[in-house]
A = this chain, B = another copy of it.
């Protein structure tokens, strides 16, 4: 009998196929892409192929927009949103629109086009995670921006148009719908129970253990109870904190370790599958709106790792329901047993 499971925060139901549980070998994974070095705008030596850099970790004697960097942040050459201009909200009959103000940046994770993030040393992963924090802190100063999303598309079907390891940042002038829903879910739970739903999830996952993948002193990695995607993982901090930008330096190293282990296990279990990861943090301006007074206590930043082994088709698009052919308990068991 398949099982319906409800995500406690989003209120979203998922169909878990418990009978014909798909194992890692049952999924097809496309072959890795080959990069042509001369046309790769993210390669060291090709810095002139991107817009001028916004930020970089680089050797003290190197010059901006030249070689000698470890992590480099540049504006997206084809941005979905633009920094220049005014918001200019307006109605059009019954419809609402505004100018596409925002930021769209690319975080180039390494000069090496073939070094995936999980193959970097922990210090290298931590440097990428610190770049996320530094860019967020900077963009939080712009009063037009309400939300900052950092995410990574790995593989062409997961949305990556370039194969060189990179993540992206998009800052939007409105709080996106899913974010509002997650915040509302967390706030309602807190109002009802006087406890953080994230803390309750974390405790149940650690106590039950059946969906646990990995833990260290700062972070817990598990396959969520109502996983939408096979081999989906959540990386959750043990310390309550709504804003990723407030992460401590020692936590960056622990997060780097947890993320590296999670992605290494995923890559080994499924032969480098395509995936998205998404950094969920509280929106920039909610605190200033006055009405969101418990966000510091009720919401916790976290990372979702979403392997793209299944398709988002008509049923999922129409209903918001997902069908997951691998129960998270099975996925967690496979991932736990992969040595890294």
Q: Which residues of A contact B (CB under 8 A)?
A: 1-6, 8, 10-13, 15-18, 20, 78-82, 85, 92-100, 147, 149, 151-153, 157-160, 168, 170, 172-174, 176-179, 181, 197, 200-201, 204, 208, 225-226, 276-278, 280, 304, 306, 311-315, 317-321, 323
Contact = CB atoms under 8 A, between A and B. Distances in A.
Contacts of A79: 2
Contacts of A78: 20
Contacts of A160: 313
Contacts of A170: 315
A5 B80 CA distance: 13
A3 B149 contact: no
Contacts of A82: 1-2
A12 B197 CA distance: 25
Contacts of A151: 313-315, 318
Contacts of A173: 4
A95 B2 contact: no
Given A3-B100, A97-B3, A313 B158 contact: yes
Contacts of A98: 3-4
Given A1-B85, A151-B315, A178-B318, 13 more contacts: A1-B100, A3-B100, A5-B97, A6-B97, A13-B172, A18-B100, A94-B204, A158-B313, A158-B314, A159-B315, A176-B318, A177-B319, A306-B317
A314 B8 contact: no
Nearest to A147: B319
B313 A81 contact: no
Contacts of A278: 314, 317-318
Contacts of A313: 151, 153, 158-160, 276
A315 to B, nearest CB: 6
B314 A81 contact: no
A304 B317 CA distance: 10
Contacts of A18: 100
Contacts of A174: 4, 13
A2 B314 contact: no
Contact of A172 (B153, B277, B319): B319
A94 B158 contact: no
Contact of A95 (B80, B225, B277): B225
A314 B100 contact: no
Contact of A178 (B15, B149, B201, B320): B320
A229 to B, nearest CB: 9
